[in-house]
Chains A and B, each alone.
Chain A
Amino acid sequence: MKVAVLSGKGGTGKTTVATNLAYIMNAHYLDCDVEEPNGHLFLKPIIEECIDATILNPKIDDIKCTHCGQCSEACQFNALAVTQTGVIVFNELCHGCGVCSLVCPQRAIKEYQRGIGKISIGTFGKNIFLSGKMNIKEPMGGPIISKLHAYSNFNELTFVDCSPGTSCNVVKAIEDTQYAILVTEPTQFGLHDLNLAIQLLKDMHIPHGIVVNRSNGRDTEIKAICKKENIPLIGQIPFEREAAVTYSKGNLLVDEDPFERIFKEISNRLLHLLKVEV
């Protein structure tokens, strides 16, 4: 069972919620924020293996190539440019779809696995930790996220820490999950982006609940959204300067009061919702 943790807006507390819940619920953890992974800082895993994450990119056989231009014409991403002397491949634009290889009448295109990042596999306590990290200068982390999911089909509960936003990285991170926790904050930015994330989860038919981080105790507008959209409020984590200090040092909140109690309540509510809604 995979539970995604996403937000829309960056910095609302996705990693805080995902790591603290994974820790107290004895769950596995998957860091799908492959552009800027942070979960390892809090869970401090023992890494046992590091594997390459790759994308299939084309390689042109210059001897067979007749410069007909069909590959370039068929490519929807402008990743190939055909000149009189050869074909230039723009790897950073390539989506690894294989269309160029399919259309080449000379069968002059082979594909090879090019490294775009790394996947770390390890443990924290008795639980499994997986994290993806994209190489700088790479534009797309999607293939790394898909590989992370392929490596993590566990029976037990797994938290999937997502990147901010609502674009393709988030879609790839949540598409293999059965429930989603939306972490938000009681600000206009938080609300605006929360609505975008809710739209995405509805489109993908993933049941979801909300956790408010840096709660002011009232969270009136968030509660109104919960009521209007029939979304359960799983918990409210109060604003505490001390929490920011603890976080800044890379420490889990659940080692201290009042957060141990708060996260335990959230975990109980979550378990109940998983039984009922999934």
Chain B
Amino acid sequence: MELVIISGKGGTGKTTITAGFSSLSDSSHIKADCDVDAANLHLMFDYQIESRVNFVGAKLAAIDLESCIGCNLCMHYCRFNAIDKTIENKVVVNPLKCEGCGACKVVCKHHAVSLNDEITGETRKYKTKVGTLTGASMIPGAEGSGKLVTQVRKMAKHYSDGKEANILIDGSPGVGCAVMASVTGCKYGIIVTEPTLSGYEDFVRVHELLKFFNIGALAIINKFDINDKMTKKIETYCLGNDIQCLGKVPFDRKVENSINEGKPIVEYDDSIAGKAIKEMWSRFIEFCFKAEEGSKI
């Protein structure tokens, strides 16, 4: 069973909670950090990198200056403004703007354009005390984060035992291709939200995405005591929209310590957030059990 943890809004506490759940779950369950833009989950554990593999996630055009006659046809057809003039009246590709579509290669009459594999990041297999963690480090500015996410998930499936893979996925903020690649095929999605106007709006949007993918939605309200009114608004929304609210985590300054010390918050005995997250994990297990029983009837 694949469980993904997402948020819509950034900074609500996805990685803190995923790290907590990782610590409480069986070490045979694979953890996957699909926040490839800004991967942080591995920082919550003592880790060893067991393997690193370059990932080709896009194509990149390149101009052979000897063959280029400076006719600018490629510039005319490039829809991404990725081709610039050089001082010598030839052209050069801007790698940060190039989307690797190959239009320049199609139109060039002088065979001056090649379309080459572009390494967009590196996938990693980490060994941690909570088990195997798959993740990636994307090259800043690279295209194709969705593809890299898909690769991280493939690796997680590959490393899990047997056919019934249990995978816990740390998602990224937003609702675009990286998040879609993180959630597709998951059985459940836990939305970690915060009781703020921004958090609420973004929560509603990411829930819409889960509905589209037909994924069972649950919610956790993090730092709930910042705003009781907004917390109630989220709870009401959950009730009216078939979202199982797993609970509320209080604001706890110890979370910052846990991040800086690289230790999941659930491992701090005196943490109110840690205690709440442990309760939430128990509730999730119970929810899954009941759902399983319910589907047998």
Contacts and interface: CB of A to CB of B under 8 A. Distances in A.
- Judge: A and B partners, yes or no: yes
Interface of A: 8-12, 15, 35-36, 38, 41, 56, 74, 76-77, 95-99, 102-103, 134, 136-141, 163-171, 175, 187-189, 192-193, 196-197, 199-200, 203-204, 241, 244-245, 247-250
B154 interface: no
Contact of A103 (B106, B174, B175): B106
Given A11-B173, A38-B197, A203-B96, 20 more contacts: A9-B11, A10-B11, A10-B38, A10-B172, A36-B8, A38-B198, A41-B198, A76-B100, A134-B176, A136-B209, A137-B209, A164-B37, A169-B174, A175-B96, A187-B260, A192-B43, A199-B140, A203-B140, A241-B226, A248-B196
A193 B38 contact: yes
Contacts of A41: 197-198, 201
A149 B28 CA distance: 48
Interface residues of B, number: 62
B140 A9 contact: no
A36 B43 contact: no
A98 B259 CA distance: 46
Contact of A9 (B8, B10, B99, B195): B10
Contacts of A170: 141
B132 interface: no
Interface stretch (B83-91, B123-131, B142-150, B241-249): B142-150
A147 to B, nearest CB: 13
Nearest to B257: A187
Contacts of A196: 37-38, 140
10 contacts: A35-B175, A41-B197, A136-B209, A164-B10, A189-B259, A193-B40, A200-B140, A245-B226, A248-B227, A248-B230
Contact of B141 (A9, A35, A136, A171): A171
A35 B176 contact: yes
Contacts of A139: 146, 176-177, 180
A97 B10 contact: no
Nearest to B227: A248
B15 interface: yes
A166 B141 contact: yes
A189 B43 contact: yes
B101 interface: yes
A164 B209 CA distance: 19
Nearest to A139: B177
Interface in B170-214: 172-178, 180, 194-199, 201-202, 205-206, 208-209, 212
